[in-house]
Amino acid sequence: MEKIYQLLHALLPSVPVWTVWIAAFLIPIGFIFGVYLTIFAFTTLVERKALGRIQNRYGPNRVGPFGILQPMADGLKILLKEDIVPRAADKFSHFLAPVLIVVPGLLVYLVVPVAPGMVAVDLKIGVLFALAVGTVSVIALFMAGWASRNKFSLLGAMRAVAQVVSYEVPTVMAGVAVIMAAGTLSTLTIVERQGGGILNISNLFVIGGLAESARCPFDLPEAESELIGGYHTEYSGFKFALFQMGEYLAGMAMAGVTVTLFLGGYMGPGSGPGLVGGLISMFWFFGKLTGMIALNIWIRGTWPRLRVDQLMGFAWKVLLPLALVNIVAVGLWHFLTPRPVAWVVTTGWLAIWVVVLTKCNAGAALEKREYRYI
């Protein structure tokens, strides 16, 4: 924000200082609401068309050229649909839950830098803020299920809480490894210290992010085959749209945090300060973000949904031990010298634990099921 203030103050020297500070604060926020909500709208279109191709069908292709106006049609339709509230529902909580679920996704964007100095709030604890805010959605999910007075909604909400809390632990542990390597909690400083790396992606963090945002194959809280519709069974109209928006915004927010922590953020050839460097930096950031969103869509179209016992077991028996092993590996890498020795020791440490965890979690062969009809 300070760099934006300096730029505005240089361009508008006669404007009062307090006005420039307000403008420097509102510009990143306006950017967040404008750009990310636009990305959300067209991501729904891209995802539907991509899933259609994966499933050997066309997808949206009627509204506008190649179906490009489908997000506008969906928004207009959802606004005109009737809002139905169950008679026994807690009216206030039923109304508040879909509003609250959108807030965490938007708050995470406040600490995700898209260019040098282009961040709404440069917090010294930016990573901690992003990881902490991401779990606030748990309150909204449980509030939605409880307020609906529906047993399927309540079961979906309880599963959502268990899932998010379970996967938050290895996700935070994966972020701790980055904090140890960078020596800071500031997202801007973490990006600057990566030096433009684009291949050091953490599978732990990506998997945890998918599970936290309830993206397939971790979409158990709303499994239609088991729970009708999960925590939002009793929602319709614009309230239902807010739940979908919250899910998409949370998924894109975790993709943005992944790009910031593991993919070099806005760093890339030609990125840097100034107008041209800033535009190139934004190109790199949104290019990497697009790649992460495409990966999420690809996973949704190709992976089947997990069972709830498989989901929870994977979090506590596989991801959490791997996250702890990863923290030790980062410590060994930091203290061991020379570098060839660090490479050999850390690689051997990780390989040993991968084999151990694979052996420990290898279950017996699945028994063949016999289906009987009534």
- DSSP one-letter string for 18-86: HHHHHHHHHHHHHHIIIIIHHHHHHHHHHHHHHHHHHTTS--S-SSSGGGTTHHHHHHHHHHHS-----
**Residues 262 and 321 both lie in one domain:** no
Query: Is position 266 within any domain?
Result: yes
Query: What are the tens digits of pLDDT across the range 101-137?
Result: 888 888 888 888 888 877 877 788 888 888 888 778 8
Number of domains in the chain: 2
Query: Is position 8 within any domain?
Result: no
Burial bucket for residue 107 (CB in 10 Å: 0-12, 13-18, 19+):
buried
Residue that finishes a domain, picked among 257, 276, 306: 306
pLDDT score, position 195: 64
**Residues 132 and 188 both lie in one domain:** yes
Query: What is the Cα–Cα distance from 250 to 256, expressed in whole angstroms?
Result: 10
Q: Please report which confidence band the pLDDT of residue 75 belongs to, taking 50, 70 and 90 as the band edges.
A: confident
- Whether the pLDDT of residue 348 is over 60: the answer is yes
**Residues 322 and 238 both lie in one domain:** no
- Which residue has tokens 């239902």? 240
**Residues 260 and 243 both lie in one domain:** yes
Query: Is position 50 within any domain?
Result: no
pLDDT score, position 198: 39
Query: Is position 63 within any domain?
Result: no
What are the φ and ψ backbone dihedral angles of 357, each rounded to 5 degrees? -65, -35
Is 87 or 222 the better-scoring residue by pLDDT? 87
Host domain of residue 320: 310-363
**Residues 258 and 338 both lie in one domain:** no
- Whether the pLDDT of residue 27 is over 80: the answer is no
**Residues 248 and 325 both lie in one domain:** no
Is 262 or 218 the better-scoring residue by pLDDT? 262
Query: What are the tens digits of pLDDT across the range 304-316?
Result: 777 777 778 888 8
**Residues 149 and 234 both lie in one domain:** yes
Helix (H) or strand (E) holding 308: helix 308-314
CA gyration radius for the chain? 23
Average pLDDT estimate for 278-287: 88
Query: Is position 348 within any domain?
Result: yes
Give the CA distances from residue 340 to residues 28, 104, 224, 343, in Å, rounded to whole numbers and listed in that order: 43, 43, 52, 5
CB 128 within 8 A of CB 179: no
**Residues 275 and 159 both lie in one domain:** yes
- Whether the pLDDT of residue 354 is over 70: the answer is yes
